[in-house]
Structure 1
Amino acid sequence: MAVAGYTKGSTYTLWTLRTLVIICLVLFFMLPVVWILTTSLAQRIAMFKLPPQLFSKPTWKNFSYIFTQMPVLTWTLNSLIISLGTMVLSLFIGVPAGYAFSRVDFTGKKLLLMVILLTRALPTIVIVLPFRVIMQSIGILGTRLAVILIDTVYNAAFTFWLMSGIFESIPEELEEAARIDGCTPIQAFLLVAVPLSKPGLVTSALFAFIFSWNDFLFALTLTSPDTATLPLGMLSTYGVMQQGWTYMAAMGVVAIVPVVALSLFLQRYYVSGLTFGGVK
């Protein structure tokens, strides 16, 4: 009985410690979100008070200012077009490439995978200047298409890597059965492999969208004032004479709301997508 009681007490203590650690970690990582929310609703003078005030009397003037005095809707539309275009192109390139890589064995397969992943590991500053020269030479510098193309190059490697693992987890026998029933290899890919890889598709699409939505350097280098994105718009609140921290925080809230809503909506898909291809 004593042993059983000791075991039960130890389990309860461990559960309590684990819960406290999780709560502390959640509070720690939520602190920047709380700060940006409170700052977006704060008076500008409150930013310079000592000691700093995390909570003050809320006001909607910051949001009213950015929507009436700044082209926030245009910046948001540009970000949406670029992010959606990057997502579609990344899937169009990465999904078939990942499928082919998972189904074909050849010499140097692992080396090729490493080389492709290195493109995602390269610092953005390394590839942005050559791409700027290329975009200028073909006449699309300053357009949304220029940013879509370079974002796709940077994000397609992740889509390829994730989808290759997803397709390796899908038994080839299912596609063979479809081909026996009369399907062509392309039909087996579209009607069997792709539907079964739905969690991976959603995960790849979500990550490509987020990476492009948060991009700053590529957009700064390749866009024009008419095609500027929301992160560049946030930079415009910082001037030589004054720093619009509350305006920047308000635009930060506008920027994170769509991504957070989309992530929560697709949560059950991308969590399973990240783990689906990890067994094999």
Structure 2
Amino acid sequence: MATDNTDPTAEYRKNQSWLYDSKAGGYVRKTAIGLLTLVIGVFVLFPLYWMVVTAFKTTSEIQQIPPTVFPADPSLEGFRLVIESSIQAGGYAGLVSDLFGITVTSAIDINLLGLIVNSLKVAVGAGLIAVVLGTGASYVLSRREFRGKNLLMSLLLASLMFPGTAIMVPEWELISTLGLFNTHLALILIYGAMTSPFVVWLMKGFFDDFPDSIIEASQIDQCTPFETFWYVLVPMARNSLIASFIFAFLLAWNELVFALTLLDNSKFTVPPGLLTFVQGFNTQWNVVAAASIIVSIPVLAGLAYIQRYFVQGLTGGAIKG
């Protein structure tokens, strides 16, 4: 029978583990963790590295076997073809010729700038819908009690488990019935609906932890429930709102299946638009890689600016204590 004066670590000390309790074991653990981190880092980052390297290779070098790890003769051919194609397809060839005296011609007929604009339109619209609907629903689910509340929350959670392709046929029928086929509004509504359940769960966690004293103070000041929500809770939920918007934005920006099914070439967003660069055995992979880098710049620039809000929002950093 152990007494209060017994060392609680005595039994553990009798069975010391060399790996965890010796200096040499510490070195082994750190080395193993370092190697595992290196392997995972290479696995994750190598595709990005290969895309960048490919963008600076010529077509002949890309076709070499074995492939080169570094460009033997770095070239901007891929970027030139993408820019020339965008200028010509966008109808700016005459303007460039008048301003700079440069004749722009391209065998590729893809308007990359138009693809970026289309994706921004769809992604921003879907993000706003998801945030507005998800935030309102989460506030009601957090601060109101009603019959079927738990069932509704379970259904919202279950909806996140189904792949988007599982509802492709009914979605296509619905969009066709509403006359929204080949419109960006169709994608905005679909993407907004797909990401709203996630926003509900994220924002509900924020509202659940919101101090009741602040809400009671607003009620003393004779604020209506809507005024409390709009003027008190929403400003303090900025980080969580930004995190929700980024999640919805990225899903809409990267989604391929719905965009490829519901749009034609003239309305394509970035993912299906980049897919048109792939042309069987005649694919110019340096052009594909260059286009991928260019379309990533707006997203990377935006995320670099607001990433701290994203992390704080996911961890519920808007309210402390």
TM over 0.5, shorter chain = yes
1:238 has 2:257 as partner: no
Gaps in structure 2 of 5+ consecutive residues:
1-20, 86-109
> What aligned pairs does 1:52-131 form with structure 2 within 5 A after superposition?
52-56=67-71, 57-69=73-85, 70-131=110-171
Deviations 1:32-70 (Å, cap 9, x if unpaired)?
A: 111111111111122221222121122111111122222
Q: CA deviation at 1:18?
A: 4.4
Q: CA deviation at 1:9?
A: 7.5
Q: CA deviation at 1:118?
A: 2.3
- Looking at structure 2, the residues matched to 181 and 26 of structure 1 have their Cα atoms a distance apart, in angstroms, of 54
1:149 to 189, 195, 203: 189
RMSD (Å), alpha carbons: 2.4
Which letter does structure 2 place at the counterpart of 1:136? S
- Looking at structure 2, the residues matched to 52 and 153 of structure 1 have their Cα atoms a distance apart, in angstroms, of 44
Determine the structure 2 residue equivalent to 1:37.
Answer: 52
Q: CA deviation at 1:272?
A: 1.6
- Looking at structure 2, the residues matched to 190 and 11 of structure 1 have their Cα atoms a distance apart, in angstroms, of 53
> What aligned pairs does 1:1-280 form with structure 2 within 5 A after superposition?
18-19=33-34, 21-56=36-71, 57-69=73-85, 70-276=110-316
Which letter does structure 2 place at the counterpart of 1:93? L
Determine the structure 2 residue equivalent to 1:3.
Answer: none
Determine the structure 1 residue equivalent to 2:94.
Answer: none
Deviations 1:51-90 (Å, cap 9, x if unpaired)?
A: 2212112211111112222210111110010001101111
So what's the TM-score if we normalise by structure 1? 0.89
- Cα 1:131/1:268, change in 2 over 3 Å: same
Which letter does structure 1 place at the counterpart of 2:62? M
So what's the TM-score if we normalise by structure 2? 0.79
- Looking at structure 2, the residues matched to 275 and 73 of structure 1 have their Cα atoms a distance apart, in angstroms, of 35
- Looking at structure 2, the residues matched to 192 and 183 of structure 1 have their Cα atoms a distance apart, in angstroms, of 10
- Looking at structure 2, the residues matched to 221 and 130 of structure 1 have their Cα atoms a distance apart, in angstroms, of 13
How many residue pairs get aligned? The number is: 275
Larger radius of gyration: 2
Q: CA deviation at 1:108?
A: 3.7
- Looking at structure 1, the residues matched to 296 and 195 of structure 2 have their Cα atoms a distance apart, in angstroms, of 20
- Looking at structure 2, the residues matched to 36 and 241 of structure 1 have their Cα atoms a distance apart, in angstroms, of 18
SS in 1 for 2:160: helix
Which letter does structure 2 place at the counterpart of 1:27? V
SS in 2 for 1:266: helix
Gaps in structure 1 of 5+ consecutive residues:
1-5
Task: Using the aligned pairs only, state the percent identity.
Answer: 32
- Looking at structure 1, the residues matched to 37 and 227 of structure 2 have their Cα atoms a distance apart, in angstroms, of 46
- Cα 1:240/1:22, change in 2 over 3 Å: closer
- Looking at structure 1, the residues matched to 136 and 163 of structure 2 have their Cα atoms a distance apart, in angstroms, of 26
Greater shift, 145-154 or 22-31, is seen at: 22-31
SS in 1 for 2:282: coil
